[in-house]
């Protein structure tokens, strides 16, 4: 078995881990909008906190193995690699800068509040458009990168794929109204 095959396997594992963590975070943010009580917010955010290490390890594995394969086999003059690498470089800090401070504000506030119905201030943090849009758009952008990795289109085709993924991510992220909270029954 060649080194390339092992590195490719690790690269795919990194992509899967990153995709799973982004998809789970997106689902957590949607579920969070359905929460009715502060206790529910604490549970959802505790589960969401476990994603941090998976995000980090997966991203590191994805980038290191991707760079290794690029340097040793593909080269940096390959359109789909250039677009995929640029996309990952732009997405990773964007997610961290746009989502993480807002998510941490929810966690901090939820742990300060007493049990009971969610107060308006916490609702505002949960329904933050930037947080919700980023959480919904990220998995679609990752899907675009997976498409690039599997189909290996030209530079123009790769740019088109990521433009479509970004457009769908924006539409899905901000184009849909937040789910309504169900009335709490005692």
Give exposure, 102-131, as e/b (b: 16+ Cβ within 10 Å): bbebbbebbeebeeeebeeebeebbebeeb
pLDDT at residue 52, rounded to an integer: 81
Mean pLDDT by 10 residues, the chain (186 residues): 94 91 87 93 87 88 93 90 90 83 93 95 92 87 91 95 91 66 48
C-alpha separations of 122 from 40, 55, 98, 106 in Å: 12, 25, 18, 7
CA separation for the pair 73, 81 (Å, rounded): 12
Per-residue pLDDT tens digits for 123-169: 999 999 888 888 888 888 889 998 998 999 999 999 999 999 989 98
C-alpha separations of 88 from 82, 93, 97, 100 in Å: 10, 9, 14, 17
Q: Where are the alpha helices (DSSP H) in 113-154?
A: 120-126, 129-151
CA separation for the pair 147, 150 (Å, rounded): 5
CA separation for the pair 13, 142 (Å, rounded): 14
pLDDT at residue 185, rounded to an integer: 47
């Amino acid at each position: 078995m060649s080194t390339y095959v092992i590195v490719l396997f690790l690269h795919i594992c990194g992509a899967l881990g990153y995709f799973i963590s982004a998809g789970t975070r997106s689902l957590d943010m949607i579920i969070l909008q359905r929460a009715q009580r502060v206790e529910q917010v604490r549970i959802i955010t505790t589960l969401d906190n476990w994603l941090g290490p998976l995000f980090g390890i997966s991203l590191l594995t994805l980038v290191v193995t991707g760079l290794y394969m690029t340097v040793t086999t593909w080269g940096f003059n390959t359109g789909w690699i250039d677009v995929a690498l640029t996309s990952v470089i732009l997405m990773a800090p964007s997610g961290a800068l746009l989502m993480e401070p807002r998510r941490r504000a929810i966690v901090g506030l939820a742990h300060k509040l007493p049990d009971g119905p969610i107060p308006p201030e916490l609702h505002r943090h949960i329904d933050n458009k930037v947080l919700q849009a980023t959480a919904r758009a990220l998995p679609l952008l990752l899907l675009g990168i997976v498409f690039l990795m599997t189909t290996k289109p030209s530079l123009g085709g790769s740019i088109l794929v990521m433009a479509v993924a970004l457009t769908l991510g924006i539409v899905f992220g901000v184009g849909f109204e937040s789910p309504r909270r169900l009335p709490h029954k005692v």
